[in-house]
Amino acid sequence: MRKVLGIAFAAILVTSPAWGQASARLTAEREALPEPLLEISEQDVGLALGGEKIVGTLTLPEGSDAAPVVLMLHGFTGSRDELDIEDTDEGVFSRTARLWAERGLGSLRIDFRGSGDSDGDWEDTTFSGQIADALAAVDWLANEPRVDSERIAVLGWSQGGLVAAATAAGDQRVASVALWAPVAHPPATFGALFGTEGIAAGLASGDEAVDIELSWGSQIELRRAFFEELYTVDPLARISHYPGPLLVIVGTRDDVVSPQPLSGRAYTENHEGDEELLVLDTDHVFGAFGGPETVDEMALWTLAWFHLTLLD
């Protein structure tokens, strides 16, 4: 428990002195991953919740009767394909889904309600609403004939990591979890994004959506419920109720969910069970604006984790 794994690939990464048996196990699994030989299929699907449609993309290896599948949960203001990767025609999640399916692991990436192609209004976004969307997606997967209902996992990135932690705690059908740069302390992360004045305006907004300028200059609207849940939804408390295997990957140059690796370590400190904390020399978007190299490595390390905890 509470082991930190340092990996070297094309850059100098943080290496922890706590190099134990589980770390060696994951390293061996990563080295033994199969080559990308399988044909894949992709299909957009819809599931209903509260009279609204949640849109997702199901990616599967061809020829599988019932594949193991990972539910992929995007970040704040994101969508199911996630950020475009420089020098490719893919997003972080759509590329990861392909890399996995070519090696036998399926996935379902969804747009939360109010995001992407799903129904709903962005300004009504809340943590609890996204958690409900994710739980509905787990239920859909558990009843989908093309999916092995005994081998469902969850991956969440950034705010999606918070949602993934709560989803795993709330549904015992989740067999394994991976979190990429997950939000651990919502008031700190969103306080930095919104500023103290933005938080105060949101809490005082009543029934009206409030305009918020993000730290990088984008403008969004949110309602009071989102700001209230910064203080009432605690992902670290949720992860303490999830007993299954947990992988957390963070970057030392992450200036969105920070400080690192302490924010990632907060998850492993509050989780009891099989776990790894992988610390990389990268930023919050895993170098996606410079190309696919780090994204690909993260996808394959995460695949190795799911091989160990979901497929073996």
Residues 64-93: pLDDT tens digits?
A: 789 999 999 999 999 999 999 999 999 999
End-to-end CA distance of the chain: 20
Sign of CA dihedral 124, 130, 135, 141: positive
pLDDT at 214: 84
pLDDT 10s per residue in the chain (312 long)? 433 343 333 333 333 334 223 478 899 999 999 999 999 999 999 999 999 999 999 999 998 789 999 999 999 999 999 999 999 999 999 999 999 999 999 999 999 999 999 999 999 999 999 999 999 999 999 999 999 999 999 999 999 999 999 999 999 999 999 999 999 999 999 999 999 999 999 999 998 999 998 877 789 999 999 999 999 999 999 999 999 999 999 999 999 999 999 999 999 999 999 999 999 999 999 999 999 999 999 999 999 999 999 987
pLDDT at 65: 85
Q: What structural domains does the chain harbor?
A: 4-183+240-311 (3.40.50.1820)
Side by side, the strands of the sheet bearing 40-49 are 4-5, 275-280, 246-251, 174-180, 147-157, 67-73, 106-110, 52-61, 40-49
How do residues 217-260 score in pLDDT, each as one tens digit? Answer: 789 999 999 999 999 999 999 999 999 999 999 999 999 999 99
Angle at 233 between CA 288 and CA 194, to 5 degrees: 55
Q: Which of 100, 99, 81, 101 has the alpha carbon at shortest distance from 91?
A: 81
Q: Crossing angle, helix 293-306 and helix 92-101, to 10 degrees? A: 50
pLDDT at 17: 31
